[in-house]
């Protein structure tokens, strides 16, 4: 078979909210097939599969990784299971696209990367924002200094949701809390645009169960450059990313981490750029991943091991400052 057009057969592990969205985009991709799904219960897998014309249905994760026809598995389980689930796939030589946060801490990320290298199998963090055209456009404009030097950035992600200890978002034993779930996106924005900060200031509020309900961060860089970052499960935040440059401002509109529009302001004049997205946005990371598989690559240059390692080390550092332990 021609490697350039080989159909990539995907499996999904863990069939919650994000798995549904991912599946909707995956089934529209050329030369890719949503071939198998696995849930902890066969009933749930059967129900999920019926929506997307899935060929193989598994009532546990082990059977999924033992299916020799699978090329790639998308891991969509709670954060605390990412390491264990990733290792299960890599041991069988199956490529892994694992949801963000890649794992719970840097030690876990190092173990995952080391296993992928040992097995010579592709592994990538599913930080989809990196692959979205509007985000890549902004990165390029900032790198080219189209509007001069960057002086300050702000990014937030927040919404109000009634506390529910049964929900993954709040449940501490599943890695719940604002920082790892949504605070990762403002941190990702600062890391991808500016890099690692020289120092970090952070403060947080907490739910009674110990999960963080909000987190305020300032990343300090050389020459007074600062990134003001915030996550919250207590209030609706702008959920924009704003880059203040010498000659203008680039704003990624709400919600900056999803397919979005951009507003550029120069001399008080606003220009809006619409990227005319037609999908939920998960297709971009999948197409990149498929391409890597066809080229027999074991690491992405867009979402590299080094980037994921740095991202997790920043999350670790913030957690240590706010004293959030899992």
Q: Let me know if 99 is exposed, middle or buried by CB neighbors in 10 A (0-12, 13-18, 19+).
A: buried
Q: Is 14 in the site for ligand NAP (CB under 6 A)?
A: yes
Q: Do the Cβ atoms of 140 and 302 come closer than 8 Å?
A: no
Name the minimum Å distance from CB 14 to ligand NAP.
3
Say whether residue 77 binds ligand NAP (CB under 6 A). Answer: yes
Q: Which is nearer to ligand NAP, 264 or 288 (CB)?
A: 288
Q: How far is the CB of 39 from ligand NAP (least distance, A)?
A: 3
Rounded to 5 degrees, what angle do the CA atoms 12, 89, 288 make?
A: 60
> For the purposes of burial, counting CB atoms within 10 Å of the CB of 69, is it exposed (0-12), middle (13-18) or buried (19 or more)?
exposed
Q: Is 44 in the site for ligand NAP (CB under 6 A)?
A: yes
Counting contacts by CB under 6 A, is residue 178 touching ligand NAP? no
Q: Which is nearer to ligand NAP, 101 or 197 (CB)?
A: 101
Q: Which stretch binds ligand NAP (CB under 6 A): 26-34, 72-80, 302-310, 315-323?
A: 72-80
Residue nearest to ligand NAP (CB): 16
At 98, phi and psi to the nearest 5?
-110, 135
Binding residues for ligand NAP, rule CB under 6 A, total 21
Q: Which is nearer to ligand NAP, 40 or 247 (CB)?
A: 40
**160 vs 258: CA distance, rounded Å:** 18
Of 189, 266, 192, the C-alpha closest to 228 is: 189
Q: Report residue 190 as tokens.
A: 């600062």
Shortest distance, CB of residue 78 to ligand NAP, whole angstroms? 5
Question: Which residues are within 8 A (CB) of 47 and not within 5 positions of it... i.e. 6 or more apart?
Answer: none
- Beta strands at 249-252 and 262-266: parallel, antiparallel or unpaired: antiparallel
Q: Which two tokens stand for residue 72?
A: 């790639």
Query: Do residues 16 and 9 touch, judged by C-beta distance below 8 A?
Result: no
Min separation Cβ 257 and ligand NAP, Å: 7
Residue placing its CB nearer to ligand NAP in the complex, 70 or 150: 70
Q: Tell whether residue 128 is a contact of ligand NAP (CB under 6 A).
A: yes
Stretch that binds ligand NAP, among 36-44, 220-228, 230-238, 244-252 (CB under 6 A): 36-44
Q: Which stretch binds ligand NAP (CB under 6 A): 76-84, 132-140, 300-308, 312-320?
A: 76-84
Contacts of 326 (CB under 8 A, 6+ apart): 80, 104, 105, 172, 175
Q: Does 168 bind ligand NAP (CB under 6 A)?
A: yes
Name residues whose C-beta falls within 8 Å of residue 294's C-beta, 6 or more positions apart in sequence: 3, 4, 6, 8
Query: Closer CB to ligand NAP, residue 15 or residue 113?
Result: 15
For residue 168, the minimal CB distance to ligand NAP (Å) is 4
How many CB atoms sit inside 10 A of residue 17's CB? 10
According to the binding rule CB under 6 A, does residue 57 interact with ligand NAP? no
H/E element, 245: strand 241-245
Q: Pick one of 8, 57, 72, 76: the residue that binds ligand NAP (CB under 6 A).
A: 76
* Footprint on this chain of ligand NAP (rule: CB under 6 A): 14-19, 39-40, 44, 76-79, 81, 99-100, 126, 128, 168, 174, 181
């Amino acid at each position: 078979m021609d490697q350039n057009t080989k159909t990539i057969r995907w499996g999904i592990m863990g069939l919650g909210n994000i798995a549904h969205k991912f599946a909707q985009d995956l089934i529209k991709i050329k030369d890719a097939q949503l071939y198998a799904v696995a849930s902890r219960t066969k009933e749930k897998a059967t129900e999920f599969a019926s929506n997307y014309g899935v060929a193989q249905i598994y009532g546990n994760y082990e059977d999924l990784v033992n299916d020799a026809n699978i090329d790639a598995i998308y891991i969509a389980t709670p954060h605390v299971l990412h390491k264990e689930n990733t290792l299960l796939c890599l041991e069988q030589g199956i490529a892994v696209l694992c949801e963000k946060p890649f794992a719970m801490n840097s030690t876990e990320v190092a173990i995952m990367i080391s296993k992928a290298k040992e097995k010579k199998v592709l592994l990538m963090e599913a930080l989809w924002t990196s692959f979205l055209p509007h985000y890549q456009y902004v990165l390029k404009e900032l790198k080219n200094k189209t509007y001069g030097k960057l002086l300050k950035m702000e990014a937030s992600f927040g919404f109000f949701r009634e506390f529910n200890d049964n929900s993954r978002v709040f449940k501490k034993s599943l890695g719940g809390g604002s920082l790892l779930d949504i605070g990762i996106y403002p941190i990702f924005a600062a890391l991808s645009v500016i890099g690692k900060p020289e120092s970090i200031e952070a403060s947080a509020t907490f739910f009674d169960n110990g999960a963080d309900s909000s987190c305020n961060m300032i990343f300090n860089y050389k020459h007074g450059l600062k990134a003001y970052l915030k996550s919250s499960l207590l209030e609706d935040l702008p959920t924009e990313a704003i880059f203040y440059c010498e000659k203008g401002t680039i704003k990624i509109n709400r919600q900056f981490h999803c397919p979005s529009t951009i507003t550029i302001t120069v001399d008080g004049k606003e220009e809006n750029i619409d990227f005319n997205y037609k999908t939920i946005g998960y297709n971009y990371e999948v197409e990149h991943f498929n391409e890597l598989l066809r080229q027999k690559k074991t690491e992405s240059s867009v979402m590299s091991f080094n980037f994921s390692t740095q991202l997790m080390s920043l999350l670790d550092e913030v957690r240590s400052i706010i004293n959030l332990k899992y």
